[in-house]
Structure 1
Amino acid sequence: MEGIFTRKAIGINGKWPIPFVEATIGDTLIIYATNKLSEPTSLHSYGLFQNGTNHYDGAAMVTECGIPPNDTFTYWIPLQQAGTYWIHSHSKSQTADGLRTSPIIKDPNEAYHYDDEFVIPMEDWFREPAEVLIKRLNSPDPHIRFKPFVPYGIIGGECANRRRIKFVPRKTYRLRLLNIGASFEFHFSMDGHELRIIEVDGVMVKEKPTHGITLGTGQRASVLVTALDSTAYNYNFHADMFTDLPQMPRYNPLNFTGTVEYSAEARTKRQRGAIWMSAHDLDLEPLDGELALEPNRFISLDAYSGAFDGQTFHHSFNNVAYVAPQVPTLLSALTTGEMANLPATYGRQTNTHVLGRMEVVQVLVRNHDYYSHAFHLHGHVFQVIEMGSIRTDERSMKEALDTPVKRDTVIVRGGQYAVLRFRADNPGVWPFHCHIDFHVMLGLQMTSIEAPEMIQKTLGGRSPDRYKENCVAQGIRANGDSTGGLGGRLARPSCARARTRTRDQFGSYDPPNGWQLISYVLGGSKDDAGTLTSAHV
């Protein structure tokens, strides 16, 4: 039967879909994660700042080594924010195989009144496991690499076409909309009803009426909907799934239609086509009224994709395709002393930027690809200041209001740019990457090291024993630079007479003498081996 197939999925406690978590701001979220997979895993709480708990951010080989098979790790996360978030694996492409759910954090002092709410997690679901799709994308044969792979649209684990939302006349509902898929965007609209946006990515905004809303991978939004007066009709809602990949014209959009039910006996009042008009990020304003920040640090990121050495397809920032280091970046920051302030400590192919405490960082990200990227920053929300065409003129540029919207994920269309600003007020290691699973897997990621000296002072003694034991169990070093050299065993030139010190894995580290420093910087690390020949073709 069309639409029915079996495939591997990753569940929790024998269940899939994974039930969503509901908590209240001020609670502590405790996740006892036992890994029964045949490979390491990790859990990232998407959108939560993890202020003071960077070691629980869950980004494998960035903030932790991952949980080994048949082992357990406990995440302790104080909930300092209210809003709509989600949890997913940050190891390989396990998110695309189903390891994802939605934590909803309530605020007893809600800014808006509503009678009830619905959580609507929208997901793309592929026939084949992610590892099969990744192999296809890595193929040197473009006919295999660009062959369309078409997902199904599901909401909360069931076919989107079967989903029903029950309304009572004149009541107001909060719909928490999430795109927790791997690749495709969703456009949500509802026949016969007006949507009023009140939240994006955990940030409350001034109420904004709209006909529809577009969510890239990772993005979330809350809308208020007031039910109609009559139960004479039911209505359709639309969760239309789409991509701008040119090789998939027949599949754009993939239309999925659920039901807004007023009465089980009522017939559905149909509307011709979904309304695709959507509110723009730059038309939204946060409720806190924060003005645009004044930047004092500037970073430019150019996103490219193409065939690199051996005709392997990669994505890159500034022609550097991300390669995970041999020591998790946070552990390098904790254990390399003053060397933690040097980007070279983390390996060139982690594309690392070291940020000063409380700097206001402006990121100009330009998308040179012909398709969209959904860029996500861990540990922060950023102000969206400006968007437009890379070949800018006044007609193609749009600027924010005096109080710019803040979110943690932004869609940048092909040939477009975005200007983002955030304050470096959260010492830690924070990735910035495209949240389309297959793009980040192929290299579209960079790393921010925020206030290394504060990381060492505030985080060094907070991590549990199991944190470094997970590394040891997998044969991964838990200290030193990106190759495990500095802070551990370092091959020294014969003329160097520095005394070798043995320290605990989380002990302090004295930087080497001048000769060793020059040798390291000029000689590079194992991660640098292919960098010079990996330029964008």
Structure 2
Amino acid sequence: MKRFLVLALAALGCQAKTVTYDFNVTWVTANPDGLAERKVVGINNQWPLPLIEVDKGDQLVVNMHNGLGDRPCSIHWHGMFQNTTNYMDGASMVTQCPVPPGQSMTYNFTVNQNGTYWYHCHTDYCYPDGYRQALIVHDEHAPFKFDGEFTVTLSDWYHEMVDGILSAEFMSVYNPTGAEPIPSSFLFNDTMNTSLPVEPNKTYLIRLINISAFVAQYFYIEGHTFKIVEIDGVYTEPTEADTLYIAVAQRYAILLTTKNETTTNYPIVTVADSALLDGIPDDLQLNNTNWLEYNKDADHPQATINVTDATELVPFDDITLVPVDKMELLPEPDLEINVTVIMNNLNTGFSYAFLNNISYTQPKVPSLYTAMSAGDLATNNEVYGEFTHPMVLNHNDVVQIVVNNADGGSHPFHLHGHNFQVIDRAPPYGPHFYDFLDGDPVYYDPSNHTAFPKIPARRDVFVLPPQGYFVMRFVADNPGVWIFHCHIDWHLASGLAMILIEAPEQMQERIKIPQDHLDVCKAAGILTNGNAAADTANFLDLKNQAAQPGWIPDGFTARGIVALVFSILSAIIGIISIVIYGLADVKNKQEDETVPESEQGEVAVEETVENPPKS
């Protein structure tokens, strides 16, 4: 149920309201691609989930009850800064405890932003099971006008439950290379073969959100161009384009002016980035057609693109977009964080993801609660644990993050609590991402790089090219604990993340964690104070912290580990076989002893004929 309470803000000379939703998170069944019915995460026994719409300045209140019965959950408000409300960010074991089945939590925060966002579960890997939808913040003062508006979500879709895929296929000794599970299909507004009805000579604002777990998608509309006016909640100077590359968690708003006709419907084309896939099943449809519908009675033609043409599409380069506010390049950084993405195996035989050899491992106490309870030690990285990969930031410092990629795949990185300036990237955008794959990775060189833009683009998700790098800057002006992670959910599950503890002293002064959040932790059996090891007596004692598995000893390789595992399994199977056959011989001997001596010879002859000895 949605309830609206209008609050007059006379002192501001404007109207704002409280927008309230009551969410009961439940299992439902759905079949969005028409190929397989499956269990999905619904809200109030419905799926797709409700689109949340507010106006800039509104108070958003969501009362969430976990009615799933068998697993915890949360809600992350993707792209919301949560200034002074860091505890509402929704990242489990970072800013809150996961909400156990049967428990409730209220999210309550003011939306002082505008644009295109989304909400999704941020507990383990639950959002690809359907727990995700758009969050739109309308702005009457937006720097553009339009006649109508559409919100479009793009997503990959799996026919199996994600936790089962993760344990059986992905984090498994049978997948030593870390190949990501391939989706079963690709959806448009949680369905397929749908239309956006339009009128001639009108301008429409189309909001595009990639809510996938894994795969980026190209987007274009046959016979039309459009103007980009927003990326990730940041208004941009209107910039004409005909094709977009939308990575996981990225958002665009575009203005499209329709033709002066009512006879033809035009394909809206989405093409999955097949370069991300280790294989393409014969029945996987990479390119999908929906329609810009001028006439519902006219033909709805299929797009003519071939799958092999996808890498030939040249999308608009987002690093060239100029924000409307003309915010200039931030000054030289006070702090630089330089990390390298690595994929490697640990002694479990599984493939893990690393930033500088650290694979993110959840602490035993949410990191925000550690910051709030550590007193003066909150400024010490050590209390947050080695394997959360913590970095403490001073208040209002200019921070530069350099991410190098030693991996052959691309990674859309998201920073909670901020958007950031994107000031350098190599190689260039689009198909050129793969230009470096024939050689060694190319890392950022501070003494040899292209000139930084005077007015850089800003967004909260940016794509790290294969074997390349990117450089970003932001101001640490939002006290809180913020996770920085790859938004490919398989990679987050395998550890591709780190946390930034921003201005912990100011955090302690400004933040007060609500009682119902603390009650959720108690119900979950999780402490709300202490270091990453849940030690409340000595915050510098981390001996009991959760840790990543150990490294493979020198001389072993991933193939060696797998071979060793299979050798051990073969040995175990062999021993079991010997025992079974041995017991069978005992049984036969006992049966022989019950047969009269005169008949035993015949029995022996028959067994020899029917069961010849095996070499």
Normalising by structure 2, we get a TM-score of: 0.78
Task: Select the residue among 458, 470, 473 that pairs with 1:406.
Answer: 458
- Which residue matches 1:441? 493
- Which residue matches 2:50? 19
User: Which string of whole-angstrom CA distances, capped at 9 and with x for unpartnered residues, describes residues 108-148 of structure 1?
Assistant: 11110110110001111111110122111111123896485
- Which residue matches 1:453? 505
- Contact 2:176 2:345 (8 Å CA) reproduced: no
Q: Alpha carbons of 1:413 and 1:456: their partners in 2 closer, same or farther (altered >3 Å)? A: same
Q: Secondary structure at the match of 2:519?
A: helix
Q: Distance in 2 between matches of 1:381 and 1:125?
A: 28
Q: Secondary structure at the match of 1:11?
A: strand
How far residue 151 of structure 1 moved from its aligned partner, in angstroms, is 2.6
Greater share of helix: 2
User: Which string of whole-angstrom CA distances, capped at 9 and with x for unpartnered residues, describes residues 274-301 of structure 1?
Assistant: 8822111221000000111111210001
Name the stretch that deviates more: 399-408 or 40-49: 399-408
1:165 aligns with 2:162: no
1:391 aligns with 2:422: no
Q: Secondary structure at the match of 2:109?
A: strand
- Which residue matches 1:321? 359
User: Which string of whole-angstrom CA distances, capped at 9 and with x for unpartnered residues, describes residues 166-191 of structure 1?
Assistant: 11111000100000111111111000
- Contact 1:242 1:253 (8 Å CA) reproduced: no
Q: Secondary structure at the match of 1:158?
A: coil
Alignment of 1:62-141 (within 5 A): 62-135=94-167, 136-141=169-174
Q: Alpha carbons of 1:93 and 1:243: their partners in 2 closer, same or farther (altered >3 Å)? A: farther
- Which residue matches 1:495? none
- Which residue matches 1:345? 383
The amino acid that maps onto 1:44 is H
1:247 aligns with 2:282: no
Q: Distance in 2 between matches of 1:149 and 1:217?
A: 15
The amino acid that maps onto 1:158 is T
Name the stretch that deviates more: 337-346 or 423-432: 337-346
Task: Select the residue among 414, 420, 423 that pairs with 2:475.
Answer: 423
* Larger RCO of the pair (alpha carbons < 8 Å, separation 6+): 1
Q: Alpha carbons of 1:246 and 1:76: their partners in 2 closer, same or farther (altered >3 Å)? A: closer
Q: Distance in 2 between matches of 1:127 and 1:57?
A: 29
Q: Distance in 2 between matches of 1:353 and 1:243?
A: 35
How many residue pairs get aligned? The number is 501
- Which residue matches 1:188? 219
What RMSD over aligned residues (CA atoms) do the two structures have, in Å? 2.4
How far residue 89 of structure 1 moved from its aligned partner, in angstroms, is 0.3
- Contact 2:74 2:91 (8 Å CA) reproduced: yes
Task: Select the residue among 524, 527, 532 that pairs with 2:546.
Answer: 527
- Which residue matches 1:473? 523
How far residue 527 of structure 1 moved from its aligned partner, in angstroms, is 3.0
Gaps of 5+ in 2: 1-30, 428-440, 559-615
Q: Distance in 1 between matches of 2:330 and 2:259?
A: 41
- Which residue matches 2:254? 223
Q: Alpha carbons of 1:70 and 1:388: their partners in 2 closer, same or farther (altered >3 Å)? A: same
Q: Secondary structure at the match of 2:383?
A: helix
How far residue 71 of structure 1 moved from its aligned partner, in angstroms, is 1.0
The amino acid that maps onto 2:41 is I
How far residue 321 of structure 1 moved from its aligned partner, in angstroms, is 0.4
The amino acid that maps onto 1:259 is W
User: Which string of whole-angstrom CA distances, capped at 9 and with x for unpartnered residues, describes residues 417-437 of structure 1?
Assistant: 000000000000000000011
User: Which string of whole-angstrom CA distances, capped at 9 and with x for unpartnered residues, describes residues 200-227 of structure 1?
Assistant: 0000001111111111111000011000
Q: Alpha carbons of 1:355 and 1:533: their partners in 2 closer, same or farther (altered >3 Å)? A: farther
User: Which string of whole-angstrom CA distances, capped at 9 and with x for unpartnered residues, describes residues 469-502 of structure 1?
Assistant: 11111111100101111xx245xxxxxxxxxxxx
The amino acid that maps onto 1:282 is I
Task: Select the residue among 507, 514, 524 that pairs with 1:464.
Answer: 514
How far residue 153 of structure 1 moved from its aligned partner, in angstroms, is 1.2
Alignment of 1:149-164 (within 5 A): 149-159=182-192, 162-164=193-195
Q: Distance in 1 between matches of 2:178 and 2:501?
A: 34
User: Which string of whole-angstrom CA distances, capped at 9 and with x for unpartnered residues, describes residues 29-54 of structure 1?
Assistant: 10000001222111000000000000
Name the stretch that deviates more: 144-153 or 413-422: 144-153
- Which residue matches 2:37? 6
- Contact 1:320 1:531 (8 Å CA) reproduced: no
Q: Distance in 2 between matches of 1:139 and 1:532?
A: 16
Q: Secondary structure at the match of 2:354?
A: strand
1:238 aligns with 2:269: yes
User: Which string of whole-angstrom CA distances, capped at 9 and with x for unpartnered residues, describes residues 67-101 of structure 1?
Assistant: 12111110001000010000000001110100111
The amino acid that maps onto 2:516 is R
Q: Distance in 1 between matches of 2:227 and 2:452?
A: 20
Q: Alpha carbons of 1:435 and 1:146: their partners in 2 closer, same or farther (altered >3 Å)? A: closer
Q: Distance in 2 between matches of 1:145 and 1:290?
A: 40
- Contact 2:180 2:277 (8 Å CA) reproduced: no
Q: Secondary structure at the match of 2:505?
A: helix
